[in-house]
Structure 1
Amino acid sequence: MNLSLPRAATAVAVGLTSFVAVAAAPAAAETQNWRNVSPAHSDGSVLFDVETAGGATWAVGKRNDATTRPFAPVAMRWTGTRWQAPPQPAEQGRLEDLAVGAPDQVWAVGTRYEAVGEDDWDQGRALLQRWNGRAWSAVELPFPEGASGTSLSAVDVDARGAVWVHGGYTDATGEYRPALFRGRADGSGGWTRLPADSGLAWVSQLEVGPGGVVLAIGDGISRFDGTSWTKQKLPSELDGAMFDGIERRSKDDIWAVGHMRDENLWRRPVVVRFDGRAWSIVRTPAETGQLFDIAFDGSGRPVIVGETMNPDVNPAGNYVLTLGPDGLLKRTENPTGAGFLYGAATDAAGRVWTVGGAQGAEGGISPSAYAGIRR
């Protein structure tokens, strides 16, 4: 999940005019159903993504305090009772997206920095790293010869044991080029560079399904069939929508979440759903909110997380949408201690995990990392 947009806020209500209703469901859970499991001693840290598979749960982000210049990458593993933070292959940088294929097949992408002077740092370059069950190590990708300004924004591991990585680079002529790589999730290499012209200006997340069909989201949604990309047709009301989270329930049930810029609301939450034929709008509350990720609980109900910069909506800053008694998405949950929320995932027990920053942000900066479990 790539956080690339500035944050500020105002608030007045407007809404989307066309939508698809969600089937009726029981009332959403109360706040006390969230358990705060935030990592200890995480001052200056924020977590951008959480993923869980095969009994392994990881979260990634960055730390910014007096010991880091400008900031340090963070990757934490849940032991069942607390978070552990193994040593990182890069001293300076940040991790933004994460994929867990198995306990010994964990991948993370982000940016690493190096000093170019006493108080200066380079512009950063792509950081891909893998956990083999014992330690993290950096992995080099086969960018074209002469590539500079390399970057990575998204990673996913598919059911066939392949890892997919999306990023970009500047070529020898000075043009920016997108890049898509596929390799073996067990770390044995075999990297292939695939067509990456998705029609999107930027990509925040990949979702790889059966047969290697890839969905990329960012300033739109695009589909890769193994040969070429097709930008998806969205409702006209969503012109300009930006997406940060996607979840595939089946080939005929895919959800994506994000936001629209709004003159009155600053950011208006957006949810869309694919039914096998077309993408439709799922109605959201007409209030200031920016959505970053989506997961489904053990009963198959969506839990969508994000942030609001409007204290009248939620002074804590977190923004959580679940289904109300009428089957529509509503903001009825406020996890204790949570501020801005950026990542969500569901474990084998049907529990939803979320991560981000703790309550009490000043100037958009969270005081420490937050993690919670929806029981």
Structure 2
Amino acid sequence: MNRTDIRRGLLLLAATAAATGLAALSGTGAYAAGPLNWTQTKTPDPGNWYAFEDLEVLAADDVWSAGSGPDMPMIAHWDGADWTQHDLPGGVLSVQDLAVAGGDDVWGVGAGGTTWYEGRVVHYDGEKWSVVEVPYPEVGSAGQITMNNVVTTGDDVWATGIANRSIDGERVRSGFTLHFDGAEWTLAEIPIPDKATDVDYVGLDVLANGDIVASGVQFVPIPEDPAFSRAMPWVTEFDGAQWTDIGYADFGEISKHGAIADTAVDKKGKGIWFTGTLWQEDPETGAKTPEPYLVHYNGKTGEWSRPKLPTAVGVADGALAVDKRGGVVLAVSNGSGGGEGGGYLLHYDGETVERWEQPQHEGSWSYTQAAYVPGTNVLWLAGCTREESGRPITGVAAYGKVSLRH
């Protein structure tokens, strides 16, 4: 199951919670901003459904977004007035993530082949896209490779993925990294945590000191019933010599984590923000209520901290962005995986939380990507409109000025 599948599963669980009549939890409220002036953009119409799954903003007139539909990759560029869809080489079926160093140096990772389970790395040189040959892990004839994230820092490019293969008759998923130093690519596999059987989704962040942080889900067998596993957050850091698992924030005994929805390096580049969904379990009834959360990892001290957000039913949709002053914004589903409505945004400035409205649509929508125009308070959001079942209809992207009170 890839990252999109994990998020879709959480949305459907949230829909179930809403259908059973779970009420919003009480807690510290957020200051509600007045109506925001959002501008909806006219996104590409390829004649097929698709969703935007990544958003990279270099300037007001230089925005990139990527995603996919059925056997169709989607990469589009905004020039300040219009979106232009890019053509990709044959055999590329989806693009999961982009890293943009400049208009003539854009990297993408995704999938291709006849089964969607062959990794693809692509590059744009300002004129055309090409498939890049890289050293993928050996997975055998029945194995699968999925690429997840890519980051560029100067001449270096880092990418992550999952290798799904058979080991002693069991299917095992493990993470790996690809590194390009400007001259050649190298492959390194990420160790599976000691108590886990396998892992899924490898998020990717690079700290200012050059450390690589990978994140996702680890599957740990339940002691009382080893045939089943518990999905738990997984974060591991590479210092140039070895990988070290760095744990996660402690939410208490009655709280169950969902998947990590998104990550973002903080303003100083010394730590990382994580967002996801916490499933609060009622000890008497066993009922689980979804609650969005925000946590921070300090790469210098190794400490985790958790800002207090207003407590409410909802699923973290995956949109997470750091503003020019170090504040953080995240998108939250309104608790339903389909039907009418969308969600809202929460902005944390280091002390207070402000609630912002999302750009509105008819029907249902979700914003899974967020990014600021560098040095400004202009926020971009991207995602898709959805059917009542939660299936994407078409990609959407909007931008607007938001208030930064800190």
Q: What range describes the TM-score normalised by the shorter chain of this pair?
A: 0.7 to 0.9
TM-score (norm 1): 0.81
Q: Quote the residue 2:237 is aligned against.
A: 223
Q: Is 1:255 matched up with 2:257?
A: no
Q: Which moved more, 1:96-105 or 1:37-46?
A: 37-46
Per the alignment, residue 99 of structure 1 pairs with 99
CA distance in 2, matches of 1:53, 1:2: 25
Give the secondary structure class of the aligned counterpart of 1:236: coil
Tell me, in whole angstroms, the C-alpha distance in 2 between the residues paired with 1:76 and 1:240.
34
Q: Could you tell me how far 1:255 is from its partner in structure 2?
A: 1.1
**Are the counterparts in 1 of residues 50 and 394 from structure 2 also a CA contact under 8 Å?**
yes
Task: Return the match for 1:245 from 258, 262, 275.
Answer: 262
User: Structure 2: which amino acid aligns with 1:355?
Assistant: A
Indicate how the Cα distance of structure 1 residues 140 and 30 shifts in structure 2: closer, same or farther if over 3 A, else same.
farther
Q: Which amino acid aligns with 2:390?
A: G
Q: Deviation per CA, 1:154-200, whole angstroms, max 9, x where unpaired?
A: 11112x3211111132458575442211014xxx6500113422637
Residue in 2 that maps onto 1:3:
4
Q: Deviations over 1:3-47 (max 9, x none)?
A: 231131214357799xxx9xxx9x665443322124042551210
Structure 2 residue aligned with 1:41, among 18, 39, 45?
45
**Contact 1:44-1:367 within 8 A present in 2 as well:** yes
Aligned pairs for 1:318-333 (under 5 A) are 318-323=343-348, 327-333=351-357
**Which residue of 2 is the match for residue 117 of structure 1?**
none
1:103-122 Cα deviation digits (max 9, x unpaired):
222112122242xxxxxxx2
Q: In structure 1, what is the equivalent of residue 317 of structure 2? A: 291
SS in structure 2 of the partner of residue 211 of structure 1: coil
Q: Does 1:354 align with 2:381?
A: yes
Judging changes above 3 Å, is the alpha-carbon distance between structure 1 residues 76 and 198 closer, same or farther for their aligned structure 2 residues? farther
Question: Is the Cα–Cα contact under 8 Å of residues 198 and 230 in structure 1 kept in the other structure?
Answer: no
Q: In the aligned structure 2, how far is the partner of 1:82 from the partner of 1:268?
A: 37
Distance 2:85 2:250 in 1: 45
Spell out the pairing of 1:328-347 with structure 2 (5 A cutoff). Answer: 328-337=352-361, 339-347=365-373
Mean Cα displacement is larger for which, 257-266 or 79-88?
257-266
* Deviation by residue 1:44-101 (Cα, 9 ceiling, x = unmatched): 12101101237632101112xxxxxx43110001111111111112456222222112
| TM superposition shift of 1:361 | 2.9
CA distance in 2: counterparts of 1:198 and 1:84, whole angstroms: 41
Kindly indicate whether the alpha-carbon contact (under 8 Å) linking 2:92 and 2:110 is maintained by their aligned counterparts in 1. no
- Of the three residues 137, 140, 143, the one matched with 2:130 is 137
Relative distance call for 1:266 and 1:62 in structure 2 (3 A) is farther
Residue number in structure 1 paired with 2:396: 370
CA contact (8 A) 2:175 2:202 kept: no
Partner of 2:36: 32
Conserved 8 A contact 1:39-1:370: yes
- Cα distance, 1:77–1:231 mapped onto 2, change above 3 Å: same
1:271 corresponds to which letter in structure 2?
Answer: L
Hey, what does 2:284 align to over in structure 1? none
Matches within 5 A, 1:267-306: 267-275=290-298, 276-277=300-301, 278-284=303-309, 285-306=311-332
Shift of 1:296: 2.4
Contact 1:47 1:370 in 2 (8 A): yes
Change (3 A) 1:176 1:327: closer
Q: Between 76-85 and 341-350, report the one with greater CA deviation.
A: 341-350
Q: Distance in 1 between matches of 2:64 and 2:312?
A: 33
Would you say the 8 A contact 1:31–1:335 is kept in 2? no
**Partner SS state of residue 3, structure 1:** helix
Structure 2 gap segments, 5+ residues each: 218-232, 282-286, 402-406
Moved more, 76-85 or 95-104: 95-104
Question: Contact 1:322–1:332 (CA<8 Å) still a contact in 2?
Answer: yes
Taking the aligned partners of 2:49 and 2:244, their CA distance within structure 1 comes to 40
Mapped partners of 1:103, 1:192: distance in 2: 25
CA distance in 2, matches of 1:169, 1:252: 29
Deviation per residue, 1:335-361 (Å, 9 max, x gap): 123811111112224222111013x53
Opposite residue 381 of structure 2, the aligned amino acid is T
- The answer (yes or no) to whether the contact 1:352–1:374 under 8 Å persists in 2 is yes
What are structure 1's unaligned runs of at least 5 residues? Answer: 64-69, 115-121
Question: SS of the residue aligned with 1:80?
Answer: coil
Alignment correspondent of 1:125: 118
CA distance in 1, matches of 2:307, 2:66: 29
| Identical-residue share of aligned pairs (%) | 22
